[in-house]
Structure 1
Amino acid sequence: MFVIHGVANRDRDSFVNAVASLKAASGVEMVPVYWGDLGAEDRFINLTLPPAAAGRIEATGIELRDRGEAGPDQVDASVLLSVLAAPTDRRGQWNTLEAAVRARLTEDAEVSGFDLRDGDAERPDPDEVLEYLEEEWPETQWLCRTDDARLLLETGRSLAEALIDSADLNDGHEELRDGAGKGRGLRALVRRRLQDLDRVVGAAIQATAGRINHALRTGFGPGTTRFLGDVLVYQRHQAAIHARVQETIAAVDPALGRTPDRPVRIVAHSLGGVIAVDMATATHPLWTSSLLTFGSQPAFFHACDPRGGQLTPYAGDGAVVLPESLRRWTNLWEPLDLLAFIASTLFRLHDGTPPDDIPVSHTASSGLWTHSAYWENPDVAAAINTAMNTP
């Protein structure tokens, strides 16, 4: 049985040792197929990643302070997702905001605990406030893009409290209480307070997004960028990589994989699975009696860009039938592996049965980047033993 590695393998000895460990755990004889020296140049990838400072509040150029008080420097994940996701439910958004504003402007001040220094100060009319708010709301950069109920409720309440605050209504804003300037003053006050809230929320969202971006790039960036680099190299130098696989197999037995009666057995990780499927379904195929892939992408690649050879494009009205040159296929995937895809929904073997998609357990020691954790996962070794010993 031959083992083809996936992306970001640049150390032949480490790969050979990993195969030896997998061989010992599964009890199946294995021959490593190394092609990492043909992969992407990845020594300088980190130079292309934005630095951590790009996510810092100071780098956003947005003033966090409103009337002398610092705004929040992070937001709940649900708020971040609601702002970045699209489209926003405009009707539901406005209903929530309107309810919050109206409730705060009409509730009893003593019950709410909000102390008005000027007891005879007149509260703004809710309908008038909402009229101005509806005009100004589309001009916000951040608030108008969220349908997070909590953020909308807090925004509406904060705005209403600012409007009934005696410091805003009485100190220097006499035009809000009488005369022709009342409407203009209230409108200006709504605009100013809404802009303050929008600016603070925007700064918090950008700060949180920056930290998440940096954390994801630190945790997932090296693996995903090396994956993309090797994919690009494979697309350009597919023939050379296939030749390396053929050379390794021929070194064991030149007749292996050449005819239906001398098929090979292959285990492949990640992009190695794409290589194995491409070779097994080529016009002049590598005859494969049993293929086991883990953390691999053949179905994803074929759905995005048909692989050619003996495979027909997926048209959405029936699975793609694999040729007889690929007789059996077991596909393993780990729940947290972002680069693992299932195969049974897209493909059918020549006898009409789907490939076996089998989830493997997540181990806490593997952390968040689980794409390279299969090699030491006992579920993988057990699946290899089963697949390769099935007639």
Structure 2
Amino acid sequence: MPVGVTRDAVVGRLAAVLGASARGAERGVRSLALRVASSTASRAVVRRRRALTEAAHPAAGDVLRYLSRGEAVRAGLRALIAGLEPPVAIVAHSLGGIIALDTLVLTPLPQVRLLVTAGSQAPFLYESGSLPSLEHPAPRPAHIPDWLNLYDPRDLLSYLGAGLFPGRVTDIAVDSRQPFPAAHSAYWTNAEVYRHIVERLP
């Protein structure tokens, strides 16, 4: 089997005999196409920057506000749970999953027997060092209850937790068949979500 320069020479001669384009020509065409597409996409995003920012702002703003001033929200959740009879299951979506996990990490709440997160960014924040209560790579505290993490493969705002907390999180895919961003809000119209929750209830 020819290698290196010999192989390249053989490939070049065969290409010439068979009438193929010169080696590397297709890369030049592909590179030009990518540059043109990139430039066009960049201009489109710049033109729509205000609309894109306004569309993302409510959710992004809520997360940023929580990360900088979240104690009042955690205190409210603790007070709510304190008045409930066990066993308690917390079911939280998106930012709610971040708040629930944070609260449970910081305060052992023995009446809570199940944490369910759907479309949550909590694993991502933990891995990136942005989760207020737990710094990566610290392990998940033992007092946190069973954690069921539901995610939709098309929901770009849902993250997996099992790889970060081996044996402490169960990730389950629930496909709403909706494109993003609709997939992020489609958990509660998906019967599969409720089935998985009911199967785990304490």
| TM-score under structure 1 length normalisation | 0.40
Partners of 2:125 and 2:34 lie apart in 1 by: 40
Q: Is 2:193 the partner of 1:380?
A: yes
* Alpha-carbon shift at residue 344 of structure 1 (Å): 0.6
Contact 2:151 2:159 in 1 (8 A): yes
Matching of residues 183-194 of structure 1 within 5 Å:
none
Partners of 1:386 and 1:299 lie apart in 2 by: 23
Percent identity over the alignment is 32
Letter in 1 for 2:152: E
Match of residue 237, structure 1, among 69, 73, 88 = 69
Matching of residues 35-74 of structure 1 within 5 Å:
none
Q: Which has the higher contact order (CA 8 A, sep 6+)?
A: 1
* Alpha-carbon shift at residue 266 of structure 1 (Å): 0.3
* Alpha-carbon shift at residue 379 of structure 1 (Å): 1.2
**1:153–1:273: structure 2 CA closer, same or farther, 3 Å change rule?**
closer
* Alpha-carbon shift at residue 330 of structure 1 (Å): 0.5
Consecutive unaligned residues in structure 1, runs of 5 or more: 1-94, 108-146, 156-197
* Alpha-carbon shift at residue 367 of structure 1 (Å): 3.0
Consecutive unaligned residues in structure 2, runs of 5 or more: 1-7
Partners of 1:293 and 1:154 lie apart in 2 by: 42
* Alpha-carbon shift at residue 224 of structure 1 (Å): 3.9
Contact 1:333 1:360 in 2 (8 A): yes
Partners of 1:218 and 1:230 lie apart in 2 by: 18
| TM-score under structure 2 length normalisation | 0.72
Letter in 1 for 2:88: V
Partners of 1:335 and 1:219 lie apart in 2 by: 26
Match of residue 226, structure 1, among 51, 58, 77 = 58
Q: Is 2:145 the partner of 1:327?
A: yes
Partners of 2:40 and 2:59 lie apart in 1 by: 28
Letter in 2 for 1:332: L
RMSD: 3.6
Q: Is 2:166 the partner of 1:290?
A: no
Partners of 1:382 and 1:221 lie apart in 2 by: 36
* Alpha-carbon shift at residue 307 of structure 1 (Å): 3.9
Instruction: State the partner residue of 1:119.
Output: none
Partners of 1:346 and 1:208 lie apart in 2 by: 34
Q: Is 2:174 the partner of 1:360?
A: yes
- Secondary structure at the counterpart of residue 115 of structure 2: strand
Largest Rg, 1 or 2: 1
Instruction: State the partner residue of 2:129.
Output: 305
Instruction: State the partner residue of 2:3.
Output: none
- Cα deviations across residues 21-63 of structure 1 (Å, max 9, x unaligned)? xxxxxxxxxxxxxxxxxxxxxxxxxxxxxxxxxxxxxxxxxxx
